Structure 1
């Protein structure tokens, strides 16, 4: 799990990060989490965003789309939520979830960092 801990710490160094989770979307369980607050329960976010990922994958399958999901972005008035499915190195069935404070975050840079973290993640 050392690599997962490193990945979570790297996610939390992204400007504006307020919570980071590695999630198994088959079960909705958070395998590791850092940050969060009483307003942002990362366990609830992991379970809820699992439904988002599953719904998008079902929709893509129904449409016959063969592309992979790079990330799913949810924009709130005060936050960005970035969901990035893990595509390689035995990470199938996992996704990274990062919540950002919108006033302090650079979304393009955050997505770039998430891509690098996802590519290095080994579970």
Structure 2
């Protein structure tokens, strides 16, 4: 089982990764970050993406959809922003966020790797 630091290091190893964060979407705070820098303020991204997750959860409730969100993809001109909602015991209300350089990343592989990181993560 991986801890938060190990999980973030693994996320940073995804091909094309710019930065990654483990985010609590009840508070909007990043519990941990790696990468980012001048190119991407991960704390601002964590707070903003929390709004996206909350809006989608609310919409699903209003629609009466009895399902779970696996991930949310935001595609920009030069980047992918991937949000993976965690479902493991003890991880309710958390998501893994990874920003990827669109020219270097393989989106299918990134989703697969995030799923594996989630399976190994112990909060």
TM-score band, normalised by shorter chain: over 0.9
Count of residue pairs the alignment pairs up: 122
Name the TM-score, length of structure 2 as normaliser: 0.97
> Unaligned stretches of 5+ in structure 2?
none
User: Deviations for 1:79-100, whole angstroms, at most 9, x for unmatched residues?
Assistant: 0000001011210010000000
Hey, which bits of structure 1, 4+ residues long, moved more than 4 A? none
Q: Is the 8 A contact 1:22 1:32 kept in 2?
A: yes
Tell me the residue number matched to 2:70. Answer: 70
1:31-110 equivalent positions in 2, closer than 5 A? 31-110=31-110
Give how far 1:11 is off.
Answer: 0.2
> Unaligned stretches of 5+ in structure 1?
none
Tell me the residue number matched to 1:8. Answer: 8
Q: Is the 8 A contact 1:17 1:105 kept in 2?
A: yes
Name the TM-score, length of structure 1 as normaliser: 0.97
User: Deviations for 1:1-46, whole angstroms, at most 9, x for unmatched residues?
Assistant: x700000000000000000000000000000000002231000000
Q: Is the 8 A contact 1:89 1:121 kept in 2?
A: no
Tell me the residue number matched to 2:112. Answer: 112
